[in-house]
Amino acid sequence: MIHDPRTSIIDKRLENVKNIIAIGSGKGGVGKSTFSSLLSLFLNKKGYKVGLLDLDIYGPSTHLILNAEDKTPQEEYGLKPVDINGIEFMSIIYFTQNKPLIMRGKELTDTILEIFAITRWNNLDYLIIDMPPGMGEVLLDLIKFIKNLQFIVITNPTKIAMETVEKLIRFLKESNYPILGLVENMKNKDGTFVKEKCKELNVKYLGHISF
Amino acid sequence: MIHDPRTSIIDKRLENVKNIIAIGSGKGGVGKSTFSSLLSLFLNKKGYKVGLLDLDIYGPSTHLILNAEDKTPQEEYGLKPVDINGIEFMSIIYFTQNKPLIMRGKELTDTILEIFAITRWNNLDYLIIDMPPGMGEVLLDLIKFIKNLQFIVITNPTKIAMETVEKLIRFLKESNYPILGLVENMKNKDGTFVKEKCKELNVKYLGHISF
Amino acid sequence: MHEWALAEAVVNSAIKMAQEKKLSQVRILSLKVGEVQQIDMEVFDYAIKEISKGTILENSEIKYTIFPAKLLCNNCGNEWSYMESFESLTEEEREAIHFIPETIHVYIKCPKCKSPDFEIKEGRGVFIEEIT
Amino acid sequence: MHEWALAEAVVNSAIKMAQEKKLSQVRILSLKVGEVQQIDMEVFDYAIKEISKGTILENSEIKYTIFPAKLLCNNCGNEWSYMESFESLTEEEREAIHFIPETIHVYIKCPKCKSPDFEIKEGRGVFIEEIT
Ligand SMILES: Nc1ncnc2c1ncn2[C@@H]1O[C@H](COP(=O)(O)OP(=O)(O)O)[C@@H](O)[C@H]1O
Ligand SMILES: Nc1ncnc2c1ncn2[C@@H]1O[C@H](COP(=O)(O)OP(=O)(O)O)[C@@H](O)[C@H]1O
Ligand SMILES: [Mg+2]
Ligand SMILES: [Mg+2]
Ligand SMILES: [Mg+2]
Ligand SMILES: [Mg+2]
Ligand code: NI
Ligand code: NI
Ligand SMILES: [Zn+2]
Ligand SMILES: [Zn+2]
């Protein structure tokens, strides 16, 4: 039987990473990338060693927020993430010249496996993973291949966003994947709708960020 | 050789639909679903026969905007779309009880094929398709299976959104798929950034919608 | 009965395939029918015959092979039969899967690891196997 | 040389597989190496041997089968060889595909229909074929 050697090296590549936190939502445009970037900057400033991995393969954004476009990962027994003011950073844009990259789900799996197999993170306190919208390969493969993965879920305070975010939360809860909590982003008026949803779904409300 | 009979029936199911317009972006949260719904309501009010198909399988939203949740498609030599104030409407939520539906890309293809194969649209002037974010199966399969497909692309006026929206536009342009134009949604201050991008990308600027 | 829509797809495809093979009359049409959709075979067969009337498919023999549905977990590798899980489904859930088989991920989980991330390895929809 | 990272993955996996097979010493390790990644075989072989030192893989024979890469268009069904398209790639584009083969969709289109929606049907990465 043919065997893919990448799946067994992933644990080793992440063995010196203390916390792996995926920033997810299910919904697009709620601020996953903004929050992932700001959280990385914040933790780094607090003195933690931080890595940021952009796994939104179709629509990477964190390179823009961190102004990380003009660097390149160095080849050294694999690929060393780029150093952005002390944050170790990896994104698909280093391989696409930021051009359109279309692909089907099976290939998303291969892309993610390859990135994990060849990226050599240093010792990290936190690896933050910026996720794409949707509940397909990126979500399912992170769950499948990454041990000790934790989630922070992010939403905005609209019924439309929460409709989809609730689906991600229910899926994670039903499958017993740990959710650190929910962040309410883009809050532009008073309201307790999201807080109440958190209670209903039994998820910790971590706080809000104003619009 | 095994043959899938669904692919050849799709043309027939759509033979009485005059215009098929996919509302895409690549980016999430820019208002694809809001715009798809409003466009459908608008065209319907103008006297056109309109269908709306929600193909955001992981995160359907248009049922909320149209308040379409409490109906069910009727079985009649296939499935008749639900009638929402004169708009023919179809969404995955009629099969999921609005619960989380995870799946991989290969299965997205099967889902879309099945929906097209069994849904019996009436004569329509317009079929509006609400697309998910990303550039995977839903985009690639619409292009592959639906003849005479046209796109309206939607963005918000931020660099972050446009970074990804530009990728979709470039992909469509390079492959010669017709783009009717670009809509700038959520405009909350003056600025000509999106208009200039349209010129650069050679896409018609259709107008803006205020935040 | 959305079996009529599936039947129409089959007849439509079969005629195209027969034309490509330059058959003037179809003798045998062999279909694979997956168990997942729980197709009403009586209605399906009747519909195919009705829709075939007046075409080169009329009076052909239609052979059906019903394929047992096997589910394969992407998460833990477990393989099991759809019928094991079928018993526990409500009428409404069965109906949803009847229309869109992929909604199976809403209603069924891997009996071993409880993941909904599995695939329908065999027995998904209707396929044309052979036409002569 | 990211060939070292791939070599490390191979050695790591091979040792696990050998342990599962309860081998005390590996005699032969057979690898399939796809053409798409354009792996530097000299470096790769050297790296595998270096990393194997002191393990049950040391002194085993490593057999390589290089697999020609075939691309299959999802849009029009056309099949072609990666090498046909390879010639027209710049150094930088080859390097990107060397690291992440799926970036091939950025740089190559189906020669027949110009779609980037194709798959790497054969010859993608590195696989362990057999270990004895
Ligand atoms: N708290 C906020 N206030 C104002 N704008 C925000 C805020 N958070 C995010 N944005 C903007 O919203 C858009 C979507 O954010 P982004 O991080 O790209 O979301 P996602 O990654 O979930 O798609 C971007 O234009 C971003 O600048
Ligand atoms: N013009 C607008 N002004 C204010 N809010 C808007 C506007 N368009 C969309 N929204 C809101 O933005 C969010 C994302 O819209 P949605 O249509 O769901 O986007 P998408 O379908 O692209 O993910 C929703 O909460 C929606 O109500
Ligand atoms: Mg993002
Ligand atoms: Mg980008
Ligand atoms: Mg939407
Ligand atoms: Mg919904
Ligand atoms: Ni039926
Ligand atoms: Ni290399
Ligand atoms: Zn399982
Ligand atoms: Zn082609």
Write the CB contacts of A92 (distance below 8 Å, at least 6 apart in sequence).
A54, A57, A60, A101, A111, A115, D100, D103
**DSSP code for A3:** B
Express each pLDDT in A7-24 by its tens digit: 999 999 999 999 999 999
Q: Judge whether C14 and B5 are in contact, CB under 8 Å.
A: yes
Which residues in chain D (52-91) have CB-CB distances under 8 A to chain A?
74
The best mutation among A25, A27, A34 to test binding of ligand 1, ranked by most ligand atoms within 8 Å of the C-beta, falls on A34
Distance A188 CA to ligand 2 centre (A): 14
Express each pLDDT in B26-75 by its tens digit: 999 999 999 999 999 999 999 999 999 999 999 999 999 999 999 999 99
The position carrying tokens 């409500």 is C90
The best mutation among A154, A155, A158, A162 to test binding of ligand 2, ranked by most ligand atoms within 8 Å of the C-beta, falls on A158
Counting ligands in written order, the one closest to the CA of A143 is 9
Would you place residue D128 in the very low, low, confident or very high pLDDT band (cuts 50, 70, 90)?
Answer: very high
Q: Would you call B143 an interface residue with chain D, using a CB distance cutoff of 8 Å?
A: yes
User: By C-alpha distance, which of A119, A123, A111, A118 is closest to A16?
Assistant: A123
Compute the mean pLDDT over every residue in chain C, rounded to the nearest whole number.
96
The CATH number of the domain where C86 resides is what? 3.30.2320.50
Would you place residue C1 in the very low, low, confident or very high pLDDT band (cuts 50, 70, 90)?
Answer: low
Query: Does B153 contact ligand 2 (Cβ within 6 A)?
Result: no
Radius of gyration of chain B (CA): 17
Nearest ligand 2 atom to alpha carbon B187: 1
User: By C-alpha distance, which of B112, B202, B120 is closest to B153?
Assistant: B202
> Looking at residue D93, what is its pLDDT?
97
Q: Which residues of chain B have pLDDT under 70?
A: none
Distance B96 CA to ligand 7 centre (A): 16
Query: What's the total number of domains in chain C?
Result: 1
Would you place residue A1 in the very low, low, confident or very high pLDDT band (cuts 50, 70, 90)?
Answer: confident
Owning domain of residue C66: 2-131
**Closest-CA distance of chain A to residue D24, Å:** 20
Express each pLDDT in D50-98 by its tens digit: 999 999 999 999 999 999 999 999 999 999 999 999 999 999 999 999 9
Q: What string of DSSP letters covers chain B?
A: --B-THHHHHHHHTTTEEEEEEEE-SSSSSSHHHHHHHHHHHHHHTT--EEEEE--SSS--HHHHTT-TT--PEESSSEEPEEETTEEEEETHHHHTT------HHHHHHHHHHHHHHB---SEEEEEEEPPSSSSHHHHHHHHH-TTEEEEEEE-SSHHHHHHHHHHHHHHHHTT--EEEEEEEEE-S---HHHHHHHHHT--EEEEEE-
Express each pLDDT in A150-177 by its tens digit: 999 999 999 999 999 999 999 999 999 9
- The answer, yes or no, to whether residue D110 has pLDDT greater than 90, is yes
User: By C-alpha distance, which of A168, A179, A174, A167 is closest to A205?
Assistant: A179
- Tell me how many degrees the CA angle A192-A194-A196 measures, rounded to the nearest 5: 70
How many CB pairs lie under 8 A apart between chains A and D?
100
Counting ligands in written order, the one closest to the CA of D95 is 8
Distance B164 CA to ligand 2 centre (A): 17
H or E segment and range at residue D123: none
